[in-house]
Amino acid sequence: MAVSLLRRLAAASGAALVALACASVLVFAALELLPGDAAQVMLGPTATPEAVAALQSQLGLDRPAPERYARWIGGWLRGETARSVAYDTPTGELIAERLRVTLPLALLALALTVVLALAAGLYAAAHHGRKGDFAVMAASQLGIAVPGFWLAILLILVFAVKLHWVGAGGFPGWTEDEGGGFLAGLRALALPAVSLAAVQAAILARVTRSALLDVMGEDYIRTARAKGLSRRQALLRHALRNALIPVLTVVGLQFANLVSGTIVVENVFVLPGLGRLVFQAVANRDLVLVRDVVMLFVAVVIAINLAVDALYVVVDPRLRRS
């Protein structure tokens, strides 16, 4: 299995590097085409042309676009990042600081998504054509239809304003020195994680149910049932693992959506994460920070796809033989 895994990763890594290089060109070019001037935004509308030109020279904005692109990529390859225009801090430090909120939030939302979706999908498949199946499908359709930001506002209204179980927003930190703690941090991320996971869990539950029902029609499942296994036992022992390929594909895509989806949720809950950082960077015309955050999102998506490819080999023995 290790040899098959390494071969698959080696084959996928080349395509991933090409995709990353193409994405960097597209991100840089798209931001270059945006109207406006970062130096003008920083100095305000009353700044003189001489002051704006001097700040442009200081920030390197007066250099040709190919030169700035080469300096940007060269810095990333050396492990160095440019300084944020608005924060006057290396973008790598800002991103690392905000990842302490965004990454746990995305992982918590993913865990909720997988647990809820697998439980709902298994229950619906085990009760196919009965009331439980219809109830799960109706609930999943409602979950898909509800906008995430609206659900976030509703959760704040119910659990923060009415019941006072959690705060309405903000993040206390992961340590007591920051004024919070591990449990306090989890409480602050609970509602944002639920609002992120609701839609994704509804989608994944439908995919899981469909994949399980497809597998349940196979000959080996009928043989297992003929040997005396109940429908539930056949689902858990034989059908679930063989239905994981489409489920893993969707989970990989959903984790990427969860990371990028924090832009809206973090602003609703006033969380100091990557989503709020990129929102503020756009408002401040801090294109250096915007492109680094966007490239991080791209790299995360590509890394997730590589991880899903590796999991295919672990789950499906047919890929190891091929």
Q: Kindly report the CATH number assigned to the domain that includes residue 108.
A: 1.10.3720.10
Look at residue 276 and tell me if it is in a domain. yes
Tokens matching residue 175:
């340590």
The pLDDT confidence band at residue 320, using thresholds 50, 70 and 90, is: low
Q: In degrees rounded to 5, what are phi and psi of residue 271?
A: -95, 135
Angle (CA) 242 304 4, round 5° = 55
Give 73-124 pLDDT, tens digit per residue. Answer: 888 888 888 888 778 888 888 998 888 898 899 899 999 999 999 899 888 8
Distance (Å, rounded) from C-alpha 255 to C-alpha 201? 11
Q: Is residue 37 part of a domain?
A: no
160-210 per-position pLDDT tens digit: 888 888 887 788 888 877 777 888 888 889 999 999 888 889 999 999 888
For residue 178, the tally of other CB atoms under 10 A from its CB is 12
Which domain does 236 fall in, by range?
97-283
- Report the distance separating Cα 255 and Cα 303, nearest Å: 11
Contact present, 289 and 89 (Cβ < 8 Å): no
Q: Is residue 318 included in any domain, yes or no? A: no
- The answer as to whether 272 is a domain residue is yes
Residues in the chain: 322
Look at residue 106 and tell me if it is in a domain: yes
Quote the DSSP letter at residue 158: I
Q: What angle do CA 242, 246, 252 make, to 5 degrees?
A: 125
Q: Where are the beta strands (DSSP E) in the chain?
A: none
The pLDDT of residue 160 is 87
Q: How far apart are CA 43 and CA 49, in angstroms?
A: 10
Portion of the chain with pLDDT greater than 70, in percent: 88
Specify if 263 maps to a domain. Answer: yes
| Cα(52)–Cα(55) distance, integer angstroms | 5
Q: Does residue 183 lie within any of the structural domains? A: yes
175 within a domain of the structure (yes/no): yes
Q: Which two tokens stand for residue 225?
A: 């049932």
Number of domains observed in the structure of the chain: 1
**258 CA to centre of own chain:** 3
